């Protein structure tokens, strides 16, 4: 499997790709505020490219549990200047992490070349058309509810089948709007409307998502279920737990891992790839 578009290629037959997280927010659950200043965000984006990121995923709105929606105007104010500068400074794809079509369009005009939509194309009906117009890859994620209420007792009758049906629906929405079938990525949505047990089950059964025949993105970095397993550790102490989940996810079929700690998780991914493929 490959993603090929514009001047970019992500070849999943060769390696697991690293997506670095760049939160330009004051309130994200793990690194909120660290890169809220544009200069700090730009420096961090350049650093992630130097550390081995294959993609930098730029988001201006926190979607942590309980978070409130952000205005389009403020999201644009936070993200566009950073995207404009980074697109000139580094030569890897920039992804815009948004569910708003106007933000996606402006970001793609500014130099982004991917869209990461946590709503799975459900929140803004114009989003699939924007992706199709720009001929870029899109990550379709599963989420139950909204960031504000998603962790209020999420219940499933059949977890994996329900997530897969939702992702199939997102794929259909993309195809019906003219998105190329080979530019769709799927993400089961770790931590988005999932209990502790649900997250563990998704990681354990991740290989089942290969039935959808799309690259699989997984984003467990520093999330609460890791802290719970390790004795209620705070986000800054979930490094080793994240590494373990990344390694298991790669063995179970992940093609892209979305992480905060790019340098270290690149090494984790390289070793997991070597074991899985039995070659360096």
Active site residues: 223, 258
> 247, 266 in Cβ contact below 8 A?
no
Whole-number Å distance between alpha carbons of 124 and 54 = 27
Q: For residue 69, is it left (φ>0), alpha (ψ between -120 and 50) or beta? A: beta
Cα distance between residue 151 and residue 147, in whole Å = 8
Q: What is the largest CA-CA distance in the chain?
A: 49
Exposure string of 158-179, with b = 16+ CB inside 10 Å and e = fewer, is ebbeebbebbeebbebbeebeb
Say if residue 135 is exposed, middle or buried (CB neighbours under 10 Å; 0-12, 13-18, 19+).
middle
Show the tokens assigned to 117.
């939509």
Pairing of strands 8-11, 2-5: antiparallel
Q: Which two tokens stand for residue 245?
A: 């989940």
Q: What CA dihedral angle connects 32, 35, 41 and 44, to 10 degrees?
A: -90
- Rounded CA-CA distance 270/264 in Å is 10
């Amino acid at each position: 499997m490959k993603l090929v578009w514009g001047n970019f290629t992500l070849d999943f037959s060769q390696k697991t790709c690293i997506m670095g997280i760049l939160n330009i927010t004051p309130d994200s659950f793990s690194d909120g505020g660290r890169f809220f200043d544009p200069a700090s965000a730009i420096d961090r984006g350049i650093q992630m490219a130097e550390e081995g990121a294959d993609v930098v995923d730029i988001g201006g709105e926190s979607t942590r549990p309980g978070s409130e929606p952000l205005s389009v105007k403020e999201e644009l104010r936070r993200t566009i200047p950073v995207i404009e500068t980074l697109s000139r400074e580094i030569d890897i794809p920039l992804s815009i992490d948004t569910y708003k079509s106007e933000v996606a369009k402006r970001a793609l005009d500014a130099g982004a070349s991917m869209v990461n939509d946590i709503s799975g194309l459900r929140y803004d009906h114009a989003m699939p058309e924007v992706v199709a117009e720009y001929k870029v890859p899109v990550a379709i994620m599963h989420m139950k509810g909204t960031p504000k209420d998603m962790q209020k007792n999420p219940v499933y009758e059949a977890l994996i089948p329900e997530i897969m049906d939702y992702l199939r629906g997102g794929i259909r929405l993309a195809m019906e709007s003219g998105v190329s079938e080979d530019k769709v990525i799927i993400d089961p949505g770790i931590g988005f409307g999932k209990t502790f047990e649900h997250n563990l089950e998704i990681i354990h059964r991740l290989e089942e998502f290969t039935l959808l025949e799309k690259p699989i993105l997984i984003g467990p970095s520093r999330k609460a279920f890791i802290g719970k397993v390790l004795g209620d550790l705070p986000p800054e102490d979930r490094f080793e737990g994240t590494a373990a989940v990344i390694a298991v996810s790669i063995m179970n079929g992940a093609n892209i891992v979305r992480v905060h700690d790019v340098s270290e998780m690149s090494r984790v991914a390289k070793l997991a790839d070597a074991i899985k493929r039995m070659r360096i």
